[in-house]
Copies of this chain bind each other. A is one copy, B any other.
Amino acid sequence: MANNSSPRIGILGGGQLGKMLCQAGADWHLPIHVLDRNHSFPAANYATVFHSGDFSRKEDVLEFGRKMDIVTIEIEHIDTEALHQLVAEGIKVYPQPDKIDLIKDKGLQKQFYAEEGIATSDFSLYADAAALRAAIASGEVTLPFVQKARTGGYDGQGVAVIRNEQDIESKLLDCPCLAESMVDIAKELAVVVTRTPSGAISVFPTVEMEFHPTANLVEFLICPAAIDSDTDTRAAKLAMEVAEKMEIVGLLAVELFLTPEGEILVNEVAPRPHNSGHHTIEACMTSQYDQHLRAIMDLPLGPTDLLRPGAMINLLGAEGHTGPAVYDGWDKLLAIPEVYPHLYGKAETRPFRKMGHITALGDTVQMARERAAIAKEVVQVISR
C-alpha cells in the first residue's frame, strides 16, 4: 500500500472538497488526480496531477477515469453515463454511479425513502410549474410548502419556500420538481456516515446546523448537537440505515429534521464530503476526508470520536464586495485560541461566496461557539 503500490485515485471536481481530499491524501503521499476546468480551482495546486477538463462532458470523464484505479467525486453534478461506462470497463467508481443517479434526482431520492420505509416528509412530483400550479388549484398541494428542483440544486439554489399567493407568482421554479410538506423543524441535524465495499460502516458525531437568515446557507455548525442521547442514537441509526439500504460506498452526509415532537426525518443526502463535516479535520480522531479515502480503498475505517467540542462557520464573501479577495482581520483571527481557518484560494470574492471556513474548538460547545462568533466578527472577505 501507498506510494509505489498505491492505487491512482481520480477525483471529479476541483473545488474545496476536492482540495481537502487532496490534503488528506498528502499524509500517505497518495497519487491523487483531479479533473476540473482550469488551474484556478482550489484543488489544482494540491493534486498530485491536475487534469484540465469538464466533468460534465462524457468524453472528458472517460478519458480521465480510464487512467485511474479508483474514481470518486466531490460534486454530484458530473456525467454519470461515463461513470457507468467506466465501471463496465473494470474501473472502481465510488460512490457507485447508480447511487449518484439516485441522489442527484431529488425526486428519485424521496421515492427511495418512501419505498424503503425511511422517515421523510410527504412529497409529490411535478413535471413543471404549470403542473404544480394545477395541483395547488385542485387542492392536492396546500400552502405553505417547499418546492425543490429535482436536479441541479446546490447550496440553497433550486429551493423555494412557497408560503402564499405572492410566492406562487414570484418564486415558483419552472422545472421538474417536487413539492414537500412544510415540516415543523425544531433543529436541523446532519450525520456523516461512511461505508466500505466490504460493508464496514462508521458514523461521525451528530452535528446541529444553524442557517443564515437570508443566504440559506449554514451559519454555525455545532458539534456535539444539543440533543438528548436518545435522539442522538436515533439520528445516528437512521443515517446508518440510509447508507446501508442504499449500499453506498464512501461518505454519505445525511441531513435530518428534528421535529418539536422528537420525530427525525431524512431531508436529503449527499454522497461525498460535506460542509457539515469540515470540523472533523480538527475535532475528530479521523476527518471525513481521511475516512472517505480509507473507504474507497476498502481499508479499515478510523475512529470518529470527538476530541473537542467544535463550531464551524463558513467564511463567506462580504456583502458589497466583488473582486480580488482580501482577508481582513487575519491577525485578530489568529489571536483567538483554537481557531483553525481554511482558505480555498478562490481569487475572486462575491457576496455570500464560500471563500473558506473556520473551525473553532473549546472545552465546551458554548466556548467553541463563542470563539466562532468572535472569528466571524473579526475577519472579513472583502475586495479593495
Residue positions of A touching B, CB distance < 8 A: 1-5, 19, 23, 26-29, 42, 45-46, 48, 285, 294, 299-300, 302-303, 307-308, 324-327, 330-331, 334-335, 337-338, 340-345, 347, 361
Contact = CB atoms under 8 A, between A and B. Distances in A.
7 contacts: A1-B327, A1-B330, A5-B327, A29-B42, A285-B337, A285-B361, A303-B338
B303 A2 contact: no
B3 A343 contact: yes
Contact of A308 (B23, B307, B335, B342): B307
A324 B340 CA distance: 37
A42 B28 CA distance: 11
A331 B28 contact: no
Contact of A5 (B303, B326, B341): B326
A340 B27 contact: yes
Given A45-B48, A302-B337, A303-B338, A4 B324 contact: yes
A4 to B, nearest CB: 5
A26 B23 contact: yes
Nearest to A49: B45
Contact of A3 (B26, B285, B340, B347): B347
Nearest to A32: B45
Contacts of A302: 334, 337
Given A48-B45, A334-B294, A343 B2 contact: yes
A1 B2 CA distance: 35
Contacts of A343: 2-3, 27-29
B1 A342 contact: no
A325 B307 CA distance: 34
A327 B299 CA distance: 14
Q: Which interface residue of A19, A26, A342 has the most chain B CB atoms within 10 A?
A: A26
A300 to B, nearest CB: 4
Contacts of A294: 334
Contacts of A300: 331, 334-335
Nearest to A48: B45
A299 B333 CA distance: 10
Q: Which interface residue of A2, A302, A324, A342 has the most chain B CB atoms within 10 A?
A: A2
B308 A347 contact: no
Contacts of A338: 285, 303
Contacts of A341: 2, 27-28
A48 B23 CA distance: 13
Contacts of A2: 327, 330, 341, 343
Contact of A29 (B4, B28, B335, B344): B344
Contacts of A308: 307
Contacts of A330: 1-2, 299
A303 B331 CA distance: 15
Contacts of A27: 23, 340-343
Nearest to A336: B300
